[in-house]
Amino acid sequence: MGCVPSRDEASHEVRPDHGAPPDGSSDDGKDRPRMNRADTTHYTRVHEAAMAEIFRSGNGVVGLRNLGNTCFMNACLQSLCHAVGLADYFLGYEWHAEINASNPIGFGGELAKAFGELMEAMWSQSARTSIVPVEFKAAMSRCAPMFAGHEQHDAHELLTFLLDALHEDLNRCESKPYVEAVECDGTDQDECAAEAWAGYLKRDRSIIVDLFQGQLRSSVGCARCGHKCVKFDPFQYLSVPVVKSGVDIEQCIEDFSAEERLDGDNAWSCAACRQRVRASKRLELWKLPPLLVIHLKRFDFDTRGRAAKVETYVDFPLVDLDLSAYCQSPQRDIPLYDCFAVINHHGHAGGGHYTAFARNRVDNAWYHYNDANVTRVQDIDEVKTSDAYVLLYSRVVFDQTSSSGRSFSRLRPQRSQSGDSPGIIVRRQSISLPHLWPHFRGEPDRDHANISLKSLVNNKETTINKPKKRKVKTYRSLSNGKLRYDRTPSTEKKKKKMKKRAL
C-alpha cells in the first residue's frame, strides 16, 4: 500500500505530497508503477506511471466479445478505454483508496472495481485478441437492472449512466450538504460562476468531475421588464441538435446555444413582474473540461412516441476543433480539441448496431472496433460518416516556449519508450485549492487557502466564504394580533424617535 495521505479537515480533500514515491506493491506480488493518493494535484506523475505500464504490458488494441446485443456497451467501453486521462487514473493511480463505499447513491464501488479491472485487462493484451467482458456486464446488470438481459439499448444512455456511476463510486465528498442555488442578474458573472462551482464541489468531487465536467451559463430574460436571471450549472456532455442538411459540428454547437422563446404554457415566472411572462432563454458554454463529450441528437420522436433517425451527415474535425468563438468567458486553457473516439450507430431507430473508432495513444493510429473484430483504419476519412453518434474530444496540450507567454508549441502524443507523452492537463478539483478551478486566471498564489473568489477572476481582495449581506428582520405586534414585518432594525427606529424628540 502507498503512504497514508493527510486530509484537510475543512474540505476532506487530499493534500498533495509532491515528494511521495511511487507505490510499487500490489496484491498479486507484481511490481506496478502506481502512484498513491498523496500524489500531485495535476496527475502528472500518474500519467508517467500509466505510460510506463502501457509500454510494458500492451498497446490497448483489443476487441470485446458480444454477449448478446451488447454492442452498445462495447462501443462505450472502447471509447472510454482510449480516454487518456481516465486510463491514466485506472492504470497509474491508487484509485481503490478513493472508493466511496458509504455513498447512498453510489454502488459501493462495485461498478468502479469492475470498470478498473476491465481497463487493466484491455491494456494488458499485447496481441490483437479479444476478451470477454462478462464480469463487467454482470456488475452493470446488478447496479442497473435496466441494462440486464440481452436487449439493445442506447449507447449514449449507457455512457451517461456509466460516467455518473463511476463518479458516485469515486466521489471524494464524504457527505452531500445542502447548497443554496447561486444566481445573479447578469452582473458579476465571473464571481457568480466561481461561487456556483464552489457550491458544486461541496457535494461532488471525483476524477469524472476533474476530466469530463464543465460549466454552462443559463440565462432567462423577461420580455416585459427586461429583468434577467443568470445561473451557472455543471455539464458532463453536450447534446446538440442535428436539424439541417450538410451541417458541421460548429453549426450544431451554435444551434445548441440558440435563443429559445418561453411563452404560453412555458411562460416564465418573472421575479420583478411577479407574474408569468414571455421570456427568452439561452444555454451557452462557460467553462470547458479537459475531455469533451458531444452527443448528436439523431433520434426524434413524434406525438405518438414513434422514433425516427436523422441520417444527416455532420462534418467534424479530427484535430483542432476550436471552440473559442462559442465560449462566453475566458478559458484558462486554449479551447482547442482533438477527437480521440467516435461511437457510431448503424441502422434505423428501432434497432441497429453500434461500433466505435478510437485513436490509439501508443502508435497514434485510428482503429475500428466492431465487438471482437478490430481493424486498423487505412484512410482517416473513414472515421467521419453519417453514422457518427457520440464524439469524444480531448483538449490539446500546449507547451509555452516563449518567456513573453505569447508563443506556444503544440504537443502531440507520440510513441516513446520513455513514456514522455504529454497526455492532457488534469487538475484535481478541490474546495480548498481554488487555484486549480477552471475559473482561475493568472499565476497561482502560494497561500492557496487564501485565494478568493474575486481574485480568481479579477484579482480583487475578498474572501472565499464571503458572508452575504442580510436584512435584519424585526416584527411588531398589531392590535389585531397579527405580526407586521418591519424592514428597519429596532435600534434604527429608536434613533429616529430620539431625533424627533430632540427636535
Question: d(Cα 368, Cα 359) in Å, to the nearest integer?
Answer: 9
Could you give the 3-state DSSP secondary structure of residue 206?
coil
Distance of CA 341 to the CA centre of its chain: 16
Instruction: Specify which residues 496 forms β-bridges with.
Output: none
Alpha-carbon distances of 190 from 212, 433, 458, 481, rounded to whole Å: 21, 18, 8, 47
Could you give the 3-state DSSP secondary structure of residue 413?
coil
Active-site residue set: 71, 353
Contacts of 128 (CB under 8 A, 6+ apart): 61, 62, 63, 374
Residue 99 identity (one-letter amino acid)? I
* Residue 398 contacts residue 334 (beta carbons within 8 Å): yes
Question: d(Cα 376, Cα 127) in Å, to the nearest integer?
Answer: 14
Exposure of 306 in the CB half-sphere (CA atoms within 13 A): 2
Contacts of 378 (CB under 8 A, 6+ apart): none
* Residue 133 contacts residue 118 (beta carbons within 8 Å): yes
Burial of 170 (0-12, 13-18, 19+ CB in 10 A): buried
83 DSSP assignment:
-
Question: d(Cα 288, Cα 43) in Å, to the nearest integer?
Answer: 19
